[in-house]
Chain A
Amino acid sequence: MAIKIVVRRPLTFAERTYLPQIIAGLKVTWDNMMRPPVTLQYPDERPTIPKNYRGVPTLIADTNGREKCVSCQLCEFVCPPKAIRITPGEISETSDNAHVEKAPKEFEINMLRCIYCGLCQEVCPEEAIFLQSQYSLTGLTRESMVNNKAKLYELGGTLPDGHHKWDKKKEEAEKQAGGQH
């Protein structure tokens, strides 16, 4: 490997007076002054949220309005700050969703504990929990900072993915049952 010797020049006289550097610096700041400010006047102007932003975690429903969560509690176990608390519940036989395994009776996310890491979204086998674009969350009491199931579905809305896993399972099971006959 060729060795390149870099000459260490002593400072020139002009450099030692500081003056050319100061004038160059003044020009830099002047150019900056002429540029428009980058400030976002926050409450009046809102930032545009990037697509993969990790905001407040929410629960979502599918296009049929069925809650996607099956209460497997993986998110509760993976949650590093233990912000999620799920009370599992059965689905009644008479319900339209009786073919689905389970559903949460209550689903609480304590936003005072949540660290917005997104592990719950990553671990969810049903794609039922998503960190969406809400970035500003405030409350006047500690209780109001705990999002319950109703609040989580209200925040989450519907994901139009047309990916009806449980319906397909049911159809397949019915087909197989028909074939055996």
Chain B
Amino acid sequence: MEKILTDLVLSPLWYFAIARGLLVIVVLMSIAAYTVLLERKASAWIQGRIGPNRTNHPLISWIPFVGTFLAKGGFIQPAADGLKFLFKEDALPGHVRKVYYVLAPIIALAPAIVTMVMLPFGQLPGGQIITLCPGADVGVLFMFAISSLGVYSIALAGWSANSKFPFLGAVRGAAQLISYELAMGLSVLTVFLATASPDENNALSLVSIVNAQTGAWNILFHPVAALVFLICIFAETNRHPFDMPESETDLVGGFHTEYGAFKFGIFFVAEYSHMIIGSSLFILMFLGGWHILPWMPTVGSGIIATLLGLGAFFFKLCFFLFFFVWVRWTIPRFRYDQVMRIGWRVLLPIAVLNLIAYFIWYAIRG
């Protein structure tokens, strides 16, 4: 079993690479789809409602108990939502700049999927890492660089739609993403500095950061960095309370006002994929990745330890996605000037001061 799994995950053959890629895309897409369901369900619970509980298929409702349970939990809803997006008329408005209008959703989703390449999910019994791109030692730099490309999709969508609300949303979104990128990059520097040691030559690798957290998790040593990074993730994924590009109350739908059907669906999935990537980064850098608890020795051995690690990662990911949803239905949106003030006058100085404080502490400790 271990041999087969090792071969499947680590074979250099190209078709295994494609199979792994497809597997990760399928898993990412289904997690994104079920995050939409979680969003609808959790918002319903917070507002004293029930949420989607009717969608069903004759073949599934025929199964006793399970069929009812799936319908009550809304588990078939994502399929219905996706099919609705797929089969709606894909209208192309006459007043848009067509090439860029079609290009924008593609640019939205592509960086989200590409950054998945660098994410490590767990550790195989032999010590190898379960990831699409093993051995990459600049994981974090690559992820920051690629995921920032998402701002192009917002800018392109807002500009090509050739109407004022999308344009305003795009301008706000671009300004917000660029502002928070700085604080985000500076805040995690302390983590890299802590992980790096003279004999460690790939300190930027996410794997070595996770391995360094076998004992204490980074969030215990770098709480300020973790807080700044968390806030920046919210801003980077355009989630409430930093919902500037969409701001459905004042900008109709923001940058995707003119989009419908499947192109809107792609924007939707891209937002949730960015949430998954952001949460994964936070888990890997501050919450110990696939370690179950701080200072906890590895439970079990071989494949069991691997599965437990994957489970721990997945559990943390689910919690984080729930946290995103929970925050969205709790806090109202910041005003645009507040967003800029928090980004430039609060988070950026805090990140810089945190870095300097860390330098001083490091110098005193020797």
Q: Is the CB of A33 within 8 A of B45?
A: yes
Closest CB-CB distance, B10 to chain A, in whole Å? 42
Which 9 A-B pairs give the minimum distances between C-beta atoms? A33-B45, A25-B330, A29-B330, A38-B48, A39-B50, A29-B46, A37-B50, A39-B49, A32-B46
A23-67 CB mask vs B (1 if < 8 Å, else 0) is 001101110110101110100000000000000000000000000
Q: Which among B46, B50, B331 is the interface contact of A22 at CB below 8 angstroms?
A: B331
Closest CB-CB distance, B75 to chain A, in whole Å? 18
Closest CB-CB distance, B99 to chain A, in whole Å? 42
CA distance A41 to B44 in the complex (A): 14
Chain A residues within 8 Å of B49, by CB: 37-39
CA distance A32 to B326 in the complex (A): 11
Chain B residues within 8 Å of A26, by CB: 326-327, 330
Q: Is the CB of B326 within 8 A of A29?
A: yes
Chain B residues within 8 Å of A37, by CB: 44-45, 48-50
CA distance A38 to B44 in the complex (A): 10
Query: Which chain B residues in 305-345 approach chain A with CB under 8 Å?
Result: 326-327, 329-331
**Is residue B42 within 8 Å, beta carbon to beta carbon, of the partner chain?**
yes
Q: Which among B42, B50, B327, B331 is the interface contact of A33 at CB below 8 angstroms?
A: B42
Q: How many A-B residue pairs have CB under 8 A?
A: 33
Closest CB-CB distance, A102 to chain B, in whole Å? 53
Query: Which chain B residues in 21-55 approach chain A with CB under 8 Å?
Result: 42, 44-50
CA distance A130 to B330 in the complex (A): 46
CA distance A38 to B48 in the complex (A): 6
Closest CB-CB distance, B46 to chain A, in whole Å? 5
Q: Is the CB of A32 within 8 A of B331?
A: no
CA distance A22 to B241 in the complex (A): 10
Q: Is the CB of A32 within 8 A of B50?
A: no
Dominant secondary structure at the A interface = helix
A and B contact pairs by CB, cutoff 8 A, 7 listed: A25-B331, A29-B46, A29-B330, A32-B48, A37-B50, A39-B50, A41-B50
Q: Is the CB of B330 within 8 A of A28?
A: yes
* Other A-B pairs, 9, CB within 8 Å; known A22-B327, A26-B326, A28-B330: A25-B330, A25-B331, A29-B329, A37-B48, A38-B48, A38-B49, A39-B48, A39-B49, A41-B50
B122-143 CB mask vs A (1 if < 8 Å, else 0) is 0000000000000000000000
> Whose C-beta in chain A lies nearest to the C-beta of B49?
A39
Chain B residues within 8 Å of A41, by CB: 50
Q: Is the CB of B45 within 8 A of A32?
A: yes
CA distance A35 to B45 in the complex (A): 8
CA distance A39 to B44 in the complex (A): 10
CA distance A29 to B323 in the complex (A): 12
Closest CB-CB distance, B158 to chain A, in whole Å? 28
Closest CB-CB distance, A32 to chain B, in whole Å? 5
Closest CB-CB distance, B11 to chain A, in whole Å? 45
> Whose C-beta in chain B lies nearest to the C-beta of A21?
B331
> Whose C-beta in chain B lies nearest to the C-beta of A41?
B50
Chain B residues within 8 Å of A30, by CB: 326
Q: Which among B48, B327, B331 is the interface contact of A35 at CB below 8 angstroms?
A: B48
CA distance A29 to B352 in the complex (A): 34
A11-25 CB mask vs B (1 if < 8 Å, else 0) is 000000000001001
Q: Is the CB of A33 within 8 A of B330?
A: no
Closest CB-CB distance, A138 to chain B, in whole Å? 21
Chain B residues within 8 Å of A35, by CB: 48
CA distance A124 to B196 in the complex (A): 90
> Whose C-beta in chain B lies nearest to the C-beta of A26?
B330
Closest CB-CB distance, A10 to chain B, in whole Å? 17
Q: Which among A22, A38, A39 is the interface contact of B330 at CB below 8 angstroms?
A: A22
Chain B residues within 8 Å of A32, by CB: 45-48
CA distance A1 to B54 in the complex (A): 62
CA distance A33 to B51 in the complex (A): 12
> Whose C-beta in chain B lies nearest to the C-beta of A17?
B346
Chain B residues within 8 Å of A25, by CB: 330-331
CA distance A35 to B47 in the complex (A): 10
Chain B residues within 8 Å of A22, by CB: 327, 330-331
Closest CB-CB distance, B178 to chain A, in whole Å? 22
Chain A residues within 8 Å of B47, by CB: 32
Closest CB-CB distance, A135 to chain B, in whole Å? 21
